[in-house]
Structure 1
Amino acid sequence: MNPRSFPSVEAYNAAYPDCPIPTDPATRHGLRGYQAAMSGVTDDVTGTEGSLTLDFLPGGAPGPHEGDRTGTVVATHWGDGPVLVLAERVSLRAAWRAITDQWPTRLSEVRIALTHVPS
């Protein structure tokens, strides 16, 4: 099954007001996210073109000295639509660890890693 998809950041933010993607580029680029060694994650699931980046919302993946948050993990084309929702109501710290323990380069691998994160 394909992840839930929104055509734009605005459409995603309307559906997930508690876990928004910042619309200010400087703020969004400051989020701690995952880019597969800056090359991006290849979408081998939905067929969208280009590389994807993973965002942990709200606020990015928690750093080592930050408290955990519950939120949503999404994939975007470097902050542009479509927005693919990969996990909802999960520990962002656990989701970050699941991803960085595997270092996936394909979206299918990201989805497998996230299946082990409890909601």
Structure 2
Amino acid sequence: MTMSSPRRFEAASHYNAAYPQCALPADPSRLRGYHAAMQGVEDDLTGESVSMTVEFLPGGAPAPGEADRLGTVVATHWGQGPVLVLAEHVSLRTAWQLIVQRWPVRLSEVRAALDMTMS
């Protein structure tokens, strides 16, 4: 994976239309996502400097004891647009583990962790 700008969708509905198999649910608070201790992850990739959450779709990051699945990792503004696609067709368990091991506070750091899932 390269560190180019992530694919961006202005609204969750636009993302869901493009990724129906990995849709962002209407209530993403039910997902097991990453948000750097409730502070959010700084968007240093698009220049907007807003706090984002990292979501693992479909269904959130697998909890211990749950089966792993392939999916898409996105960043959202707390479940609202924009939606930034950070990785596609990755093991959601591996992506989760690599991210929480590094405890990133910026999206560029999340992307660097996800790069390990692609190698």
> Which category of TM-score, normalised to the shorter sequence, fits these structures?
over 0.9
Q: Secondary structure at the match of 1:104?
A: coil
Partner of 2:112: 112
**Superposition TM-score, scaled by structure 2 size:** 0.94
Deviation of the 1:50 alpha carbon: 1.8
In the TM superposition, structure 1's runs of 4+ consecutive aligned residues that sit over 3 Å from their partners are: none
Partner of 1:83: 83
Cα distance in 1 for residues equivalent to 2:50 and 2:43: 7
Q: Where do 5+ consecutive residues of structure 2 fail to align?
A: none
Post-superposition Cα deviations, 1:61-84, rounded to whole Å, max 9, x if no partner, equal 000010001000000000010100
One-letter amino acid of the structure 1 residue matched with residue 93 of structure 2: R
Cα distance in 2 for residues equivalent to 1:12 and 1:78: 15
Partner of 1:9: 12
8 Å Cα contact 1:91/1:118 also seen in 2: no
Q: Where do 5+ consecutive residues of structure 1 fail to align?
A: none
Partner of 1:35: 35
Q: Percent identity?
A: 62
Post-superposition Cα deviations, 1:3-50, rounded to whole Å, max 9, x if no partner, equal 000010000000000000001x2xx21110000010000111111242
Cα distance in 2 for residues equivalent to 1:75 and 1:11: 14
One-letter amino acid of the structure 2 residue matched with residue 83 of structure 1: V
Calculate the aligned-residue CA RMSD, in Å: 1.0
Cα distance in 1 for residues equivalent to 2:70 and 2:58: 8
Confirm or deny that 1:71 pairs with 2:95. no
